[in-house]
Amino acid sequence: MERETMSQAEWQVMRVLWANPGATSAQVIASLSQAYNWQGVTIKTLLGRLKNKFLVTAEKSGKKFQYFPLVSEDEQLRQSLESLQASVCNTKQVDLVRLLIETGQFSQTDLEQISQLALEKRDQAPERLICNCIPGQCTCGQHGGYYHG
Ligand SMILES: [Zn+2]
Ligand SMILES: [Zn+2]
């Protein structure tokens, strides 16, 4: 199922709920209002939007509502990555990985695992990737350039 996308602000609210499922709006406000300089009403609006997108559910508990995530952090990350992958030529997906490795922060163990994973993938990888872009959207050089002229 195609999930709703999340704004950066909504994502920050989700992170609180992933770490503390069942948090009340007061608890989410306590976590975020200082760091982001957001008013309580802003955070309540964000919670409302997430609820409308069926990304969180609110359960009444006494006078308060508790908020629970309906999507896991893992699923949401995977979906963001898939949409990023879908927006770039498959011959250029390596650029995403390279950028992530260049700009990200990793421990030595992380990097050993990444190297290991890359070596394992290499055994099944084709020698050359075939572009599957729509001609006119791509600069991979495999299309003979007929759509340029
Ligand atoms: Zn392509
Ligand atoms: Zn191409």
91-108 residue pLDDT tens: 999 999 999 999 999 999
* Residue 96 and residue 62 share a domain: no
The range of the structural domain enclosing residue 14 comes to 8-69
Residue 71 near residue 55, CB atoms below 8 Å = yes
Distance 41 CA to ligand 1 centre (A): 44
* Residue 64 and residue 93 share a domain: no
119-146 residue pLDDT tens: 999 999 999 998 888 888 888 877 765 5
pTM score, whole prediction:
0.78
Counting the structural domains of the chain, the total is 2
Write down the pLDDT at residue 97: 93
17-49 residue pLDDT tens: 999 999 999 999 999 998 999 999 999 999 999
* Residue 60 and residue 23 share a domain: yes
75 in any annotated domain: no
Residue 7 near residue 52, CB atoms below 8 Å = no
Six token digits for residue 29: 């406000």
Where are any strands of DSSP class E within 1-149?
23-24, 56-61, 64-69
* Residue written as token pair 């069942």: 22
Distance 138 CA to ligand 2 centre (A): 4
135 in any annotated domain: no
Write down the pLDDT at residue 135: 81
Ligand nearest to the CA of 93: 1
Six token digits for residue 123: 């055994």
Distance 134 CA to ligand 2 centre (A): 7
